[in-house]
Amino acid sequence: MAIKLTIPVTEADIRKLHIGDQVLLTGVLFTGRDAAHKYMQESFIARACPESERAVYDVLKPGLAGGVIYHCGPVVRKRPDGKYEFVAAGPTTSIREEPYEAAVIEHFGLRAVVGKGGMADKTLAACQKFGAVYLHAIGGAATLIADSVKEVLAVHKLDFGVPEAFWQIRVVDFPCVVTMDSHGQSLHDKIRADAQRKLAELVGK
């Protein structure tokens, strides 16, 4: 049975999760991929927030506290009423954000990162230290995931381009699976180890 989590998520609820758990997210989350992570690192983490970026920071800082960032470059359309809606919202490969994610988790108080493919040791250590998880979204189900996006609340840094902007969205029962937990366990590491062991067995035959 899937575990339902409401954003913002408490550390206590995150610490209850383990790899393999199915999760349904409800609440407000932000998309953010390569340009967004580089921007957060250079503008907010590596230095004090410049006044020119204060408005964005004042949205992200409380919005990501106890919150969720989704590695996604959505396909978006603008409706006749001027509002945006997601057409497709599949996950993008997360490992590209490995240089930044641990610092983002610490600085903003993130509780969950959603993407595909998993991340590496630095992010896993941050999840364990600060109480966060990595959630694997379903690759190849972009339209299905978009159905869980009920409203686009705002977009920030649209000058980065549609895929790279921060999209602030309200989701209901967004489906994902815990593949890196706050206890130092990574399903991705286990799969790699099993694959290497089986390869060694095959080569040895």
Choose, from 37, 136, 156, 188, the residue flagged as catalytic.
37
pLDDT tens digit sequence for 160-182: 999 999 999 999 999 999 999 99
Structure tokens at 27: 């609440």
d(CA 139, CA 12): 28
pLDDT band per the 50, 70, 90 thresholds, residue 199: very low
Of the two residues 15 and 82, the one the predictor is more confident about is 15
Give residue 82's domain range: 3-204
pLDDT tens digit sequence for 73-102: 999 999 999 899 998 888 999 999 999 999
pLDDT tens digit sequence for 125-158: 999 999 999 999 976 666 778 889 999 999 999 9
pLDDT band per the 50, 70, 90 thresholds, residue 195: very low
Whether 37 is a known active-site residue: answer yes
User: Is pLDDT of 112 > 80?
Assistant: yes
Write the CA distances from 57 to 41, 42, 199, integer angstroms. Answer: 12, 12, 47
pLDDT tens digit sequence for 16-53: 999 999 999 999 999 999 999 999 999 999 999 999 99
Helix (H), strand (E), coil (C) string for 126-179: HHHHHCCEEEECCCCCHHHHHHCEEEEEEEECHHHCCCCCEEEEEEEEEEEEEE
pLDDT band per the 50, 70, 90 thresholds, residue 200: low
Contact in structure between 136 and 115 (CB atoms under 8 Å): yes
Q: Which CATH number characterizes residue 157's domain?
A: 3.20.130.10
pLDDT at 130: 98
The number of domains in the chain is 1
